[in-house]
Chain A
């Protein structure tokens, strides 16, 4: 024991001296051969250029990377030096040990540079990202949509026939807990990063747009192939998940900049919400702080514009091959609000398409390219409704997400060279524990929660066979709860008047229960188990279940880091080191 303690003390001491500098990409980074990345070393103190040495596999970095790094004596706002080299690449796969030294400071990291096979397994990849998609969402969608008799499901979701192939770890470089920016960024670049960051490693300078960049899948496809690219989401199209396909920023909130980066990449099909960031600031409804009119800019590039369901249908026949569809100034409304309750912003934007409509048009357009395509479809409202614990909306969203997956499964029947991936970017602490039965005795709602044998089966109906429950406010409905919550009023009922907003902020910046729900019959105040700074339920750290089918799906197995998923995608597509 004494020897162990002594050893620990020595190790700790060594770390304190040896780990002073930070190297980006971080230790154990996996890098696609030929893909551009920014190389940066942050020293802890101001150092002299003559004292700095950076080697890769024992050779000067300049020799391996082809350019001499820039020495920055004092970074902006930081009393310390750095070495920076933008857009370098390593063409030869292998292990690369990077050693940075300056006086007493030293840091060594190892990168794994990987290549891809000579021959592609798949021509197309359709990547379905259910934001926050957890196991309970899948279970709940199945029970709501298909029903259950004597313990057996009365039908199957489309995703029920896509094999679960891997558990995915979602943690960020700076935290075990995570958000949609860094998680989707890991999927789309092969590099993990920090919470709120997209397409960059998070450096120490304040500027959110100067962080060391890594290549994303859209850029890789543009660089090396003639494949088409499509992005579909029912959130703002510049929100974190769709943004991660195309952009680079330390802060996902840089939405105006993200639209600009999307314009640089010019995905062939862009469908979603969030038009406010495309409008010049003088246009009422704009959220930009400049005069750039991205609607006009995209149109000038030959994009057909669609602003509602009907325009989307006519845009489907466009000859330009490029569609920009924006259907809400903010996030698009949920399926439950759009098609059933007419709440949320449906009165303002009454003809929004759904994820199914958008996926259908995207597939039709992208599949015209004989070289193939990459399509990302985000069911973003699964997460948007899971945060406020609006489970009915989240589950109906999951049903629509599943219907969009059904289109891809059908497409793959006639296009077997298509890899379909269905996954979440992180999970929620959500579980289905039984039913809530209004006909159980007593005034207290908790006594109407049926558990074990008392739960029975929910009584949703689907008379018209559209796959959606005819109504969510049935007398015996799923009992769904979150493991974590701010102070809120639990009503045990669907929120028929619009999405749930459990908590509001007080003058001390603390979130308190939203009293708008206080007088709902049976509502009870639940004192939160989260810090009072949390506005809604938070993401869970639990693994994500990834499902995949089609050529290349065999690359997914066991436990994988989120960043490992990228390698399977580029492997299936055999993205080359450079354009062939």
Chain B
């Protein structure tokens, strides 16, 4: 009864699988990583200690601050289809915190500020974001949105 695969892993696996199937290349997508100088960073690697009284950034995140990184995840639907600012989530957002008062962002979101505006990618589609990692609390002056981790000067493509 106890499953060893984490749910997020399973969902991600399912998404990779679906994408692989769509490309007619079942099973090989997991191995593909872009040829960038960027270091790959996983959602599981963002935080070291997680507690009710707060999280601490992982050593990897601290080491990569200010450096190029690449992350895979899902694009939460932004307020506008064409946007230079969006939220990257580990799993597809089933709720839209921008749209409803009864919803809330997950803990481990990453804010992405694009080098130039790009069009929204389907919520069911995995994307890869590359850019420079910014670490630490920052409040967006336009929206008041508080973020802890950002990938700036970024671009993204379907993973």
Q: Which residues of A contact B (CB under 8 A)?
A: 179, 196, 236, 240, 251-253, 255, 275-276, 279, 281-289, 295, 307-308, 326-330, 340-344, 347-349, 388, 471, 473, 496-498, 501-507, 509, 512, 514-519, 535-536
Q: How far is the CB of A309 from chain B (nearest CB, A)?
A: 12
- Contact residues in B for A308 (Cβ distance below 8 Å): 52
Q: How far is the CB of A466 from chain B (nearest CB, A)?
A: 15
Instruction: Choose from B18, B95, B102 the contact partner of A253 (Cβ within 8 Å).
Output: B102
- Contact residues in B for A349 (Cβ distance below 8 Å): 50, 52
A516 near B14 with CB under 8 A, answer: yes
Instruction: Choose from A289, A330, A347 the contact partner of B146 (Cβ within 8 Å).
Output: A289
Is residue B88 contacting chain A, with contact meaning CB distance below 8 A?
A: no
A341 near B93 with CB under 8 A, answer: no
- Contact residues in A for B148 (Cβ distance below 8 Å): 284-285
Q: Once the chains are docked, how many angstroms separate the CA of A497 from the CA of B122?
A: 23
B104 near A330 with CB under 8 A, answer: yes
Q: Once the chains are docked, how many angstroms separate the CA of A284 from the CA of B92?
A: 22
Please count how many residues in chain B sit with their CB below 8 Å of the partner chain's CB atoms.
Answer: 52
- Contact residues in A for B52 (Cβ distance below 8 Å): 275, 307-308, 326-329, 349
CB closest chain-B residue, reference A342: B2
B53 near A281 with CB under 8 A, answer: no
A515 near B144 with CB under 8 A, answer: no
Q: Once the chains are docked, how many angstroms separate the CA of A225 from the CA of B71?
A: 56
- What mask results when residues 46 to 66 of chain B are scored 1 for a CB within 8 Å of chain A, else 0? 010011111111000000000
Instruction: Choose from A253, A307, A471, A515 the contact partner of B51 (Cβ within 8 Å).
Output: A307
B101 near A284 with CB under 8 A, answer: no
Is residue B28 contacting chain A, with contact meaning CB distance below 8 A?
A: no
Q: Once the chains are docked, how many angstroms separate the CA of A238 from the CA of B153?
A: 36
- Contact residues in A for B29 (Cβ distance below 8 Å): none
Interface core residue of B8, B17, B94, B144 (most chain A CB under 10 Å):
B94
A295 near B53 with CB under 8 A, answer: yes
Instruction: Choose from A275, A276, A498, A512 the contact partner of B123 (Cβ within 8 Å).
Output: A512
CB closest chain-B residue, reference A279: B54
Given A501-B94, A509-B99, the answer on whether A285 and B123 have CB atoms closer than 8 Å is no
- Contact residues in A for B10 (Cβ distance below 8 Å): 497-498, 516
- Contact residues in B for A535 (Cβ distance below 8 Å): 94-96, 100, 103
CB closest chain-A residue, reference B5: A497
Q: How far is the CB of B51 from chain A (nearest CB, A)?
A: 7
Is residue B114 contacting chain A, with contact meaning CB distance below 8 A?
A: no
Q: How far is the CB of B109 from chain A (nearest CB, A)?
A: 11
Given A282-B137, A289-B146, the answer on whether A516 and B123 have CB atoms closer than 8 Å is no
CB closest chain-B residue, reference A348: B50
- Contact residues in B for A288 (Cβ distance below 8 Å): 146
A503 near B101 with CB under 8 A, answer: no
Q: Once the chains are docked, how many angstroms separate the CA of A505 from the CA of B100?
A: 12
- Contact residues in A for B122 (Cβ distance below 8 Å): 506-507
B94 near A279 with CB under 8 A, answer: no
Instruction: Choose from B51, B95, B120, B146 the contact partner of A281 (Cβ within 8 Å).
Output: B146
B94 near A281 with CB under 8 A, answer: no
Instruction: Choose from A283, A327, A347, A518 the contact partner of B54 (Cβ within 8 Å).
Output: A283
B91 near A501 with CB under 8 A, answer: yes
Q: Which residues of B contact A (CB under 8 A)?
A: 1-3, 5-8, 10-11, 14-15, 17-18, 47, 50-57, 74, 76-77, 81, 91-96, 99-107, 119-124, 137, 139, 144, 146, 148
Q: Once the chains are docked, how many angstroms separate the CA of A279 from the CA of B18?
A: 39
Q: Once the chains are docked, how many angstroms separate the CA of A307 from the CA of B137?
A: 24
B92 near A516 with CB under 8 A, answer: yes
B18 near A514 with CB under 8 A, answer: no
CB closest chain-A residue, reference B106: A330
B144 near A289 with CB under 8 A, answer: yes
Q: Once the chains are docked, how many angstroms separate the CA of A503 from the CA of B122?
A: 13
CB closest chain-A residue, reference B96: A505
B146 near A341 with CB under 8 A, answer: no
A516 near B15 with CB under 8 A, answer: yes
- Contact residues in B for A516 (Cβ distance below 8 Å): 10-11, 14-15, 91-92
Q: Once the chains are docked, how many angstroms separate the CA of A509 from the CA of B123?
A: 10
Q: How far is the CB of A303 from chain B (nearest CB, A)?
A: 14
Q: Once the chains are docked, how many angstroms separate the CA of A507 from the CA of B121?
A: 7
Instruction: Choose from A252, A275, A502, A503 the contact partner of B53 (Cβ within 8 Å).
Output: A275
Instruction: Choose from B3, B14, B57, B96 the contact partner of A519 (Cβ within 8 Å).
Output: B14
A504 near B54 with CB under 8 A, answer: no
Q: How far is the CB of B105 from chain A (nearest CB, A)?
A: 8
Q: Once the chains are docked, how many angstroms separate the CA of A251 from the CA of B101?
A: 7
Given A284-B56, A284-B137, A516-B11, the answer on whether A504 and B124 have CB atoms closer than 8 Å is yes
Q: Once the chains are docked, how many angstroms separate the CA of A283 from the CA of B57?
A: 10
- Contact residues in B for A515 (Cβ distance below 8 Å): 14-15, 18, 124
- Contact residues in A for B18 (Cβ distance below 8 Å): 515, 518-519
B124 near A281 with CB under 8 A, answer: no
Q: Once the chains are docked, how many angstroms separate the CA of A504 from the CA of B99?
A: 13
Closest 5 CB pairs of A and B: A498-B7, A253-B101, A501-B94, A504-B92, A507-B120
- Contact residues in A for B57 (Cβ distance below 8 Å): 284
Q: Once the chains are docked, how many angstroms separate the CA of A295 from the CA of B103?
A: 23
Q: Once the chains are docked, how many angstroms separate the CA of A285 from the CA of B53?
A: 8
A504 near B123 with CB under 8 A, answer: yes
A497 near B107 with CB under 8 A, answer: no
B96 near A509 with CB under 8 A, answer: yes
Q: Once the chains are docked, how many angstroms separate the CA of A431 from the CA of B120?
A: 38
CB closest chain-B residue, reference A501: B94
Given A252-B102, A284-B148, A515-B18, the answer on whether A505 and B77 have CB atoms closer than 8 Å is yes
Instruction: Choose from B81, B91, B101 the contact partner of A507 (Cβ within 8 Å).
Output: B81
Q: How far is the CB of B26 from chain A (nearest CB, A)?
A: 11
Q: How far is the CB of B138 from chain A (nearest CB, A)?
A: 10
Q: Once the chains are docked, how many angstroms separate the CA of A327 from the CA of B18?
A: 36
- Contact residues in A for B105 (Cβ distance below 8 Å): 287
CB pairs A–B below 8 angstroms (22 shown): A255-B104, A275-B52, A275-B53, A283-B54, A285-B148, A286-B54, A286-B146, A289-B146, A295-B53, A343-B7, A344-B7, A497-B3, A504-B74, A504-B124, A505-B95, A505-B96, A506-B124, A507-B119, A509-B77, A516-B92, A518-B18, A536-B95
